[in-house]
Amino acid sequence: MSADLRLNGTDLAAVTDQLVRSYGACGMLHHLGREPLPSRAAVADMVADLAEILFPGYGKRKDLTEANIGFYIGGLIDALHGKLTEQIARALRHDRCRDDADFHHCDSEAAGKALDLLRRLPHIRATLEADVQAAYAGDPAAKSHHEIVFSYPGFEAVAVFRIAHELHRLRVPYIPRMMTELAHSKTGIDIHPGATIGPGFFIDHGTGVVIGETCEIGQRVKLYQGVTLGALSFDRDENGELVHGSYKRHPTLRDNVVVYANATILGGRTEVGEGAVIGSNVWITKSVAPYAVVVLDAPPTKVKGGPTPRAQQEAIMYHI
C-alpha cells in the first residue's frame, strides 16, 4: 500500500508539472501576474442587492413598510456603492493595464461610475414599471403584477439587462456582460448589455431568446420563446480576421412589433417596421414593412386594415 501511495504521489507531481508547463504554452487560458479581474461571486451579490433596491419586499426582506424602507434602502445603497466601486475599479485597472494605459485614477473614477449607476436607479425603476405593465397586459395567464415581478424569468432577465445596459453606457468593462450572463444562466434568455430596448418590453416564456449587441428595439415590443435577433454577416479586415466592435450587426425592431416563437431575424440592415407581426419559425434577412404580417406556407394574399387598431393602411401579409 505504501509503495502504491509513493507511486501515486510521483504521478500527481508529474501531472502538476505538465499543467504548470502548459500555462506557458496556452497563454490565453490563464490570468497569472495580471491585475485582478472582477469577482463573479461579488457581481452576483451586487445583482442581488440591486434587485432588493429595485423591488423592495420581493426579495430577502419581506417585512418592509413605509416606516422602515428609508433606513433599509439607505444601508443597502451605502454598502452597494462600496462593492460597485471595488469591482468597477478592478475592471478598469485590468482593461487599462492590458492596453498599457494609465490606471492610477481608477479608484476615483470607479467611485464616480458607481454613483452614476445608483443615480440612474429611479429611471430604471420607471422603465421596469412599463415592462411589468406590458407583461400584465400581454399575458392572460398573469394573475397580478406581483406574480410577474416575483416569478417571471423574462422580466428577471430584462431587469438585469436594464442595470447592465446602464453600466455599459458608463463604459464599464466586463461587469455588464457578467451580469447578463448570470441572468442567461438562470433564465435561458441571452440579452447583450449593449442592445438598446425601449420601455414596455415583454418576453413571454423566454427560454432560448437571443438579442445581439447592436439590436435596437422600440417601445411596447413583445417576443416569445426561441426568438433570435442576430447577425447575418461580420466585417473582416484585410487579413480576413473578424473586426471586433459595436458596428451595426443586428436588426432593428420598431414600436409595437410582435415576434412569435422560434423566429429568426438577422442583419444590421434588417428593420421590422412599426406594428409588424412576425410569425413562428420564420427566417428573415430583409426588412419588413410597417403593420405587415409574416407567416409560413401559404399563398400570397393581402389583408385589410393591419394587425392592430393603430394601422390606418393596408397591411401586406407575407407568406414565406
Give pLDDT tens digits for 25-73: 888 888 888 889 999 999 999 999 999 999 999 998 889 999 999 999 9
Buried/exposed 83-121: b ≥16 CB within 10 Å, e otherwise: bbbbbbbbbbbbbbeeeeeebeebeebbbebbeebbebb
> How does pLDDT run across 234-272, given as a tens digit for each residue?
677 777 777 777 689 999 999 999 999 999 999 999 999
pLDDT band, very low/low/confident/very high, at 312 (cuts 50, 70, 90): very low
Average model confidence (pLDDT) across the chain: 89
DSSP state of 51: H
Give yes or no for residue 202 having a pLDDT over 90.
yes
Can you give the pLDDT at residue 15? 92
Coil, helix or strand for 315?
strand
* 77-136 pLDDT, tens digit each: 999 999 999 999 999 998 887 655 566 789 999 999 999 999 999 999 999 999 999 999
Do the beta carbons of residue 135 and residue 155 sit within 8 Å? Answer: yes
Q: How far is CA 19 from CA 5, 12, 14, 30, 33, in A?
A: 21, 11, 9, 11, 17
Q: What b/e string do you get for 141-160 counting C-beta neighbours within 10 Å, with b at 16 or more? A: ebeeeeebbeebbbbbbbbb
pLDDT exceeds cutoff 90 at 6: no
Cα separation of 178 and 77, whole Å?
21
- Residue 66's alpha-carbon distances to 39, 63, 69, 136, 212, in angstroms, are 34, 10, 5, 25, 40
Share of residues in the chain with pLDDT > 70 (%): 87
The domain segmentation of the chain, as residue ranges, is 33-188, 208-236+245-320
Q: What is the dihedral of CA 61, 163, 229, 296, to 10 degrees?
A: 40
Q: How many residues does the chain have?
A: 320
With cell 445581439, the residue in question is 212
Question: What string of H, E and C letters represents the secondary structure of 151-197?
Answer: HCHHHHHHHHHHHHHHHHHCCCCCHHHHHHHHHHHHHCCEECCCCEE
CATH class of 208-236+245-320: mainly beta
Per residue in 142-178, pLDDT tens?
A: 999 999 999 999 999 999 999 999 999 999 999 999 9
* The 3-state secondary structure of 199-253, one letter per residue: CCCEECCCCCCEECCCCEECCCCEECCCCEEECCCCCECCCCCECCCCCCCCCEE
Give the closest residue to 224 by CA, choosing from 257, 252, 254: 257
> pLDDT class for 281, splitting at 50, 70, 90?
very high
Q: Of all residues in the chain, what percent carry a pLDDT higher than 90?
A: 74
Q: What is the CATH number of domain 33-188?
A: 1.10.3130.10
pTM equals: 0.87
Position 303 confidence tier, pLDDT thresholds 50, 70, 90: very low
- Which SS3 state, helix, strand or coil, does residue 59 take? coil
